[in-house]
A and B are shown apart, each in its own frame.
Chain A
Amino acid sequence: AQSVTQPDIHITVSEGASLELRCNYSYGATPYLFWYVQSPGQGLQLLLKYFSGDTLVQGIKGFEAEFKRSQSSFNLRKPSVHWSDAAEYFCAVGAGNAGNMLTFGGGTRLMVKP
């Protein structure tokens, strides 16, 4: 079975600084990978996804992520953080099975200092 680890529970960055949120997965084949963002009391919004092809994927709101098979990682990055980026971020992996199920990491809470 697949699993996802987000090693950082909380991260605080200054507005305008760069950001990297870590995500490591465990799966025997090439997984389908996702990053979602959740604002307080809201559902999840898809930031970006990786299915195949170019390992650097661009998403909404200026985010990008890079799939590194050798490191089993799919880290999320943003060159310059805005105060509105403060939220909870979830990495998720899909095993490509017919059930379309996702396994979520524990989440990383991002706080942005002015």
Chain B
Amino acid sequence: GAVVSQHPSWVICKSGTSVKIECRSLDFQATTMFWYRQFPKQSLMLMATSNEGSKATYEQGVEKDKFLINHASLTLSTLTVTSAHPEDSSFYICSKSRGGHNEQFFGPGTRLTVL
């Protein structure tokens, strides 16, 4: 299957700091990548769709100024959680798509803990 990497796999930060999470497509170019958030024992919630060379499309209720997404190349999308607070602690997962059948390939996730 297609390969997606995320870095870091886990991060602990202090409240008020910013954290950047990288999502890389290792095998094919991805013009579209997705960012999800998952709370413990819950399903994935789509935060935003990241489009190479253009602005991300955010889902309703997701603060675009807090969750900055940059998709500057066809193999890299980044999510920056700005001024993180404890309620931002979660598991963040990225994915990429290929073809026209909505098939997505997921990264291993990043565990963010804000103290």
Contact = CB atoms under 8 A, between A and B. Distances in A.
Interface of A: 32, 34, 36, 41-46, 49, 51, 90, 94-102, 104-107, 109
Contacts of A105: 43
Contact of B109 (A34, A43, A99): A43
Given A43-B93, A43-B109, 13 more contacts: A36-B106, A41-B111, A44-B44, A44-B106, A45-B1, A46-B1, A46-B103, A46-B105, A90-B43, A99-B49, A100-B102, A102-B104, A106-B43
Nearest to B32: A100
Given A41-B109, A42-B108, A106 B42 contact: yes
A100 B93 contact: no
Contacts of B108: 42-43
25 contacts: A32-B101, A32-B102, A32-B103, A42-B109, A43-B106, A44-B44, A44-B106, A46-B103, A46-B105, A49-B103, A90-B43, A94-B102, A94-B103, A96-B101, A99-B32, A100-B97, A100-B100, A101-B34, A101-B102, A102-B46, A104-B43, A104-B44, A105-B43, A107-B43, A109-B41
B20 to A, nearest CB: 19
A48 to B, nearest CB: 11
Contacts of A43: 4, 6, 93, 106-109
Contact of B104 (A95, A96, A100, A109): A100
A49 B101 CA distance: 10
Given A43-B109, A46-B105, A96 B100 contact: yes
Interface of B is mostly: strand
Interface residues of B, number: 26
A34 to B, nearest CB: 7
Interface in B80-115: 91, 93, 95, 97, 100-109, 111
Contacts of B101: 32, 49, 51, 94, 96
Contacts of B104: 100, 102
Contacts of A100: 32, 97, 100, 102-104
B114 to A, nearest CB: 18
